[in-house]
Chains A and B, each alone.
Chain A
């Protein structure tokens, strides 16, 4: 399967701990997106990359969140000092091309639970 891959699928951690998620996009896709989804809601945009450059970051994203895509391939999303409100599904998506308006292909997500 050459789709978008996310690891881990589930993460349970205590409040205050740091967590890191990984996303491997479809290989030829140069855009990569991170979203957060809570139950009953639509995906909420966090940030996106064009190759290795982080081009946009949601104002909703606190400074506890950071994302990287060092070589323009896989990406990591780190949450520091986790809080109860961080519990959610974190989705990664990728798309082809450098212009806007391309279909996004989603991974299965990483479900984060904060105890």
Chain B
């Protein structure tokens, strides 16, 4: 089955700094690469996704980069704000694999 890892598991940054979270996966059939954000006590919500035919995608302060050869993709958040504090999950998908990573807890310090 799919093996999904995230690094780091926790990340603290100063407000205004950038944050990068990396997701590595094992299934070479994966072709869809989303990131979900889960605030404390809330539901996971999609924040950005990318497909295997694209190398990078950006949406305002958030971007995702994909390296399909090396089987990893990364979430980049620039100009971090306190409301970015949450747990972020990657969930690479291919076929009938629906595996979420273990999560990265991001804390943005004022």
Chain A interface residues (CB < 8 Å from chain B)? 33, 35, 40-45, 48, 55-56, 91, 100-109
| A106 and B44 form a contact (CB under 8 A) | yes
- In the complex with contacts A55-B96, A100-B31, A42-B43 CB distance below 8 A: no
Which of B34, B43, B94 has its CB near the most chain A CB atoms (within 10 A)? Answer: B43
B interface with A by C-beta (< 8 Å): 31-32, 34, 36, 42-46, 49, 51, 89, 91, 93-96, 98-103
What are 23 contact pairs spanning A and B, CB under 8 A?
A: A35-B100, A40-B103, A41-B102, A41-B103, A42-B89, A43-B89, A43-B100, A45-B99, A48-B96, A48-B98, A56-B96, A56-B98, A100-B32, A100-B94, A100-B96, A103-B49, A104-B34, A104-B36, A104-B46, A106-B43, A106-B44, A106-B45, A108-B43
Give the complex CA separation of A105 and B43 in angstroms: 9
**Given A101-B31, A101-B32, A101-B93, is A44 in contact with B100 using a C-beta cutoff of 8 Å?**
yes
Q: Residues of A contacting B95 with CB < 8 Å?
A: 100
Decide: A91 and B43 in contact? CB cutoff 8 A: yes
| B43 x A109 contact (CB < 8 A) | yes
Q: How far is the CB of B95 from chain A (nearest CB, A)?
A: 6
Residue among A35, A44, A45 with the most chain B CB within 10 A? A45
User: Knowing A44-B100, A48-B98 touch, does A103 contact B46 (C-beta < 8 A)?
Assistant: yes
